Structure 1
Amino acid sequence: MARKFIKRFMPDHEKIRHHKGLKIFGTLLHDANLWHLNRRSASGAFAVGLFYAFVPVPFQMLLAAATAIPLRVNLPLAVGLVWVSNPITMPPLFYLCYLVGSAVLQQPPSHFQFELSWAWLGESISTIGPAFLLGCAIFGTVSSLVGYFGIRWLWRYSVVRAWRKRHNSTRI
């Protein structure tokens, strides 16, 4: 069940293999283990993808791919899960990261007005940057662990349930 559910949302591996941004990996993308879907590869892909979803850089998909390849986890799933933080969800997620980082650093959240400029970015790195980056690290790590263990549990649960269902159907 978990395998079928996850497979419905996975992008086509040929489409990802020929993505222009992933051409830097060359023949490494031809490893069959990157495209298989099993409990190990799915849980590892969730961990990688969810971690990089909270890394505040514009090339999250490349980082996820660069990590998924040596770990030999499902590449399409890892790259696709980065889109948890998309242009719609990014502002509230990153603001929540900033609030959590401020709470951990025990500093009150400062009021700021977002501007799309290099001057604002440079100024903000010193004021809100440490709390924001700490919050992103916390959220990335926690979501990665929850995703990893959650998928392992869900996969095992669905396999056990299928076994029981098959066992009960043969008893009749």
Structure 2
Amino acid sequence: MSLLERLRARIPSRAQISRNPWLAWLGPWLDQPKLWHWSRRGVAMGVAVGVFFGLLVPVAQIPLSVGAAMLLRANVPAAVASTLVSNPLTFAPIYYGAYRLGIWVTGEKAVHKDLEVIGTEEIENTLSLWQRIAALGRPLVVGLCITAVLMGLLSYAVISLVWRWRTVSKRRSRTR
């Protein structure tokens, strides 16, 4: 079984996405064949949309990526699957990296010394977890926006280039 076949087996089907209670209201629009077609542009755009929302939005990533994929005529299963770029294992490194990038871009200082090493010390009694996250403020938002846009564009370019390379290599092997 090739890598592409294994990936297609793991990506949610049209029926699975249509049965999702969050997406049931989109049923009539999800019947468009272009949203399910495996083309270079559609898959690359779907992955880019999914990565963008997976990195930028901490909640409701899948409904937002499906909505954007429908508007952009991108591949819906690719958009849904690529939102998993942020998951419980990658969430902390992504947000810490985005925060550090935001500090570097905005030139702001870390709001609280303990925020330099998130999670290594107990949360102080005076600051709740939500207060600490809110204290990250502008550097985190700026870093997440930059990261989401750049990774979305990068994923689109990589998928397009790999797809094109594979197509050209298949054509060359057939002509030989």
Note the residue ranges of structure 1 that are not aligned, 5 or more in a row.
none
Select 1:132's aligned residue among 140, 164, 169. 140
Counterparts in 2 of 1:3-22, with a 5 A limit? Answer: 4=5, 6-22=7-23
- Assess if the C-alpha contact under 8 Å between 1:3 and 1:37 holds in 2: no
2:170 paired residue number: 162
* One-letter code aligned to 2:130: L
Q: Name the CA distance, whole Å, in 1 between partners of 2:144 and 2:108.
A: 16
Q: Which moved more, 1:156-165 or 1:99-108?
A: 99-108
Partner SS state of residue 20, structure 1: coil
Q: Name the CA distance, whole Å, in 1 between partners of 2:5 and 2:174.
A: 17
Higher-RCO chain (CA-CA 8 Å, sequence separation at least 6) = 1
- The CA RMSD measured in Å over matched residues stands at 2.2
Q: Name the CA distance, whole Å, in 1 between partners of 2:11 and 2:133.
A: 37
- Assess if the C-alpha contact under 8 Å between 1:2 and 1:155 holds in 2: no
Q: Which runs of 4+ in 1 moved over 6 A?
A: none
TM-score normalized with structure 2 length: 0.84
Deviation at 1:150, TM superposition (A): 0.9
- Assess if the C-alpha contact under 8 Å between 2:34 and 2:74 holds in 1: yes
Deviation at 1:119, TM superposition (A): 5.2
Q: Name the CA distance, whole Å, in 2 between partners of 1:147 and 1:87.
A: 21
Q: Name the CA distance, whole Å, in 2 between partners of 1:119 and 1:24.
A: 37
Partner SS state of residue 23, structure 2: helix
Deviation at 1:16, TM superposition (A): 1.1
- Assess if the C-alpha contact under 8 Å between 1:65 and 1:75 holds in 2: yes
Deviation at 1:63, TM superposition (A): 0.7
Q: Name the CA distance, whole Å, in 2 between partners of 1:53 and 1:18.
A: 21
2:130 paired residue number: 121
State how many pairs are aligned.
165
Q: Name the CA distance, whole Å, in 2 between partners of 1:131 and 1:31.
A: 40
Q: Which moved more, 1:152-161 or 1:13-22?
A: 13-22
Partner SS state of residue 56, structure 2: coil
2:152 paired residue number: 144
State percent identity of aligned pairs.
27
Deviation at 1:12, TM superposition (A): 2.0
TM-score normalized with structure 1 length: 0.86
* One-letter code aligned to 2:174: R
* One-letter code aligned to 2:19: H
- Assess if the C-alpha contact under 8 Å between 2:18 and 2:27 holds in 1: no
Deviation at 1:39, TM superposition (A): 0.5
1:81 paired residue number: 82
